[in-house]
Amino acid sequence: MPELVTPCTSVHASFVVAMDEFAAEGRGSIADDSMIGRDIRERAAGWKDPDPFARYVEAVVADVEPGAPRPDGFVPATTLWWVEGDIYLARIAVRHSLTPWLLEQGGHVGYDVRPSARRRGHATAMLRATLPVAAGLGIEQLLITCDYDNVGSRKVIEACGGVLEDRRADKLRYWVPAG
């Protein structure tokens, strides 16, 4: 049964395969400003080696700290991986606060399910399991956004109690109760 875990090296081989799946569908291009896209561009070259992968995992875990190094405009975030045994399935990040841009477009939550694990309920289960984590961070209502034409993400958010507030540009903005 899949579960949320703190990022760890025990899923190394599966993680590398998952990132190759994302890259094969075009993720990691300069236009891809998602978590996966940035990580593929900036870190994929070293992932196959256990030592650079371990340093990557340490950096992801450390991102919860206010003083951790991060790009300008980024906020502390708790990233969790959705795994089954030693198989990496997905990841989700809860941003601890909202900048003006996150309030408008990005929201509190970002998640990606590896292509070979999609359409099996993982995103909904992972988001649902993350709600108590957000509540533990003091977030009562999560802003979660998705592209207006992303029917799958809309269904995930709505299944977890999301209430549509509005559409801004190409993003739908939902509020989901944490806890």
Lowest-pLDDT choice from 14-18, 24-28, 67-71:
67-71
DSSP 8-state class, residue 107: B
Domain boundaries along the sequence of the chain: 3-177
Contacts of 71 (CB under 8 A, 6+ apart): none
Q: What is the rounded average pLDDT for all residues in the chain?
A: 95
* pTM reported for the whole predicted model: 0.94
Predicted pLDDT at 14: 98
What architecture (CATH level 2) is domain 3-177?
3-Layer(aba) Sandwich (3.40)
Percent of the chain exceeding pLDDT 70 equals 100
- Cα distance between residue 44 and residue 35, in whole Å: 12
Average pLDDT over residues 25-31: 92
Quote the tokens at residue 97.
């606060």
Residues contacting 110, CB < 8 A, separation 6+: 34, 35, 92, 93, 95
pLDDT tens column, 34-90: 889 999 999 898 899 999 999 999 999 999 999 998 888 899 999 999 999 999 999
